[in-house]
Each structure stands twice: as C-alpha cells, then as structure tokens.
Copies of this chain bind each other. A is one copy, B any other.
Amino acid sequence: MRVKAIVAYDGTDYSGFQRQSNAESIQAALETALAQLTGEAVRVSGSGRTDAGVHAAGQVVAFDVNWRHELAALQRAMNALLPEAIAVLRVAEAAGDFDPRRHARSRWYRYSIYNAPVRNPLSNRYSLHVPQTLDVSAMQAAATSLLGWHDFSAFGSPPQGRCAIREVLRAEWQQADTGLTFDIVANAFLFRMVRMLVGTMLRVGQGALTPQRFAEILHTQDRSGAGPAAGARGLTLMAVHYNALTESGT
C-alpha cells in the first residue's frame, strides 16, 4: 500500500530532511520508525529537501508499506516511535505512483522574524532576531516584484544544469507587534532560495537596497548582488499543494 503522510518537525537538531551519512535526518528518523514497525526496510520520499535547521508544519512524504491494520493505527504507532521533534499529522492511502516531489503543484514557506531591540529566548528557536527597525512597505514592494515567472538564478542554484525558472504565486510580508512573517508560495524553489530572498529583502528593509535595485538583481540574475542567506531557524515549510487528481484523499 502506498501511503501519503503529512509530517511536522522541529528541524533545529537535524541535518535536514534528506538522509545523510553521519548526520541525523528527518528521512532517516521516519525510515527507522517504519522499519521498527514493519520489520522491513522502507524508503520514504519527501516533497523536497529542507535544509539543516529548517522546520516543517506540513512536509508531505510517501512510502510503500505492508500494513494490514487501519491507517490510524499506523499513524499512532509511528508517533509513538518517532522522536518528540517529529510528528505524523495525517496519513492517507495514495495512488500507487504518487510522488510527493514530482506531483507537487506548489509549496508554501513561511519565514519568521522577531523584530525588537533585544532577542527573545522564547521565540529564538523559530525566528530570526533582527534588532533594527525595518521598512516593511519597502520590503513588500520588493516582494511584489517576485510574483510571476522569473529566472531566480540570482537567489539560488537549480539542480545540476537544470533551469532556474520558477513561478511565484504569493509573496507577502505581514507585521504584528514584534513579529514579522514572510509567506511565499511557488511552484518550486531553488536550493536556499527563500533564505536568500529574505536575506536580500532584509537589506531592503534596512535601507541598504531600494526595492528597484532588488528587482534589478532579480532581472539581471546577478548572484553577487543577492544575499546573504537569512538563518535557517526562521524558516518553516508550511504546506505542499497537489492537484486533486494526484492527491488521493487527504
């Protein structure tokens, strides 16, 4: 049976989603739990990598498993075996060829900033601390230039030799109190793209770049003008969206 699962994790103590030798990954933790449960080696695929330290509220994974009980029992058993930092939020049967990466129509990431003079130990794990006052409307002007189809070479690397054109469907800063969030939805992302975009927009917010210059960096694909990447702790993969046809029931 092919299973689609929605997984949340605190990425702080992990090397990222993807299995690596010599480092704890989310994928390996899921595969270990499934191997303990089934006595068989189970290969887990994700909708995409998340970097070391990046969190997820709605990563989507899929795996093939021999399971004769209810799916709810599989979920409970996985949650009992997984470390506290990882949880399976939902499970559903998927089409036999369901591929969480290739079939994803879009991904939603959120970047969180704690914007106050002194750091906050209680939000430190899930946000970047920026002490300076930020010009959020300039940052939103920069964000708006991201909408639509663009070659994002300035802000990240595509897989070897592949194209860097992506479609951004939403790019929105929101401010509340001492919190600032950036929500971005795109059909797909380049490696480190969200953190590079946020790091560059922070320079816009601090007055070091104009929104116009930001848009030029995007259009000229000038890598040297972008960055630095904002820290991983502020980034969370919120959700992955699929077409109804491939989604199979969640």
Assembly CA distance A89 to B57 (angstroms): 30
Residue in chain B with minimal CB distance to A8:
B121
Q: Which of A106-151 contact B (CB under 8 A)?
A: 118-122, 124-126
Assembly CA distance A75 to B57 (angstroms): 35
Most chain B CB neighbours (cut-off 10 Å) among A9, A55, A125, A236: A125
Interface: A86 (CB within 8 A): yes
Contact of A236 among B55, B122, B126 (CB under 8 A): B122
Instruction: Tell me which residues across on chain B come within 8 A of A124, comparing CB atoms.
Output: 10, 84-85
Instruction: Tell me which residues across on chain B come within 8 A of A79, comparing CB atoms.
Output: 118-119
Instruction: Tell me which residues across on chain B come within 8 A of A55, comparing CB atoms.
Output: 121-122
Assembly CA distance A85 to B8 (angstroms): 23
Residues of A within 8 A of B (CB): 8-10, 55, 57, 75, 79, 84-89, 118-122, 124-126, 236
Distance in angstroms from A242 CB to nearest chain B CB is 21
Instruction: Tell me which residues across on chain B come within 8 A of A119, comparing CB atoms.
Output: 79, 84, 87
Do B121 and A126 touch (CB < 8 A)?
no
29 examples of A-B residue contacts, CB within 8 angstroms: A8-B120, A8-B121, A8-B122, A9-B121, A10-B121, A10-B122, A10-B124, A10-B125, A55-B121, A55-B122, A57-B122, A75-B118, A79-B118, A79-B119, A84-B119, A84-B121, A84-B124, A85-B121, A85-B124, A86-B121, A87-B118, A87-B119, A87-B120, A87-B121, A88-B118, A89-B118, A122-B126, A122-B236, A125-B125
Assembly CA distance A85 to B121 (angstroms): 5
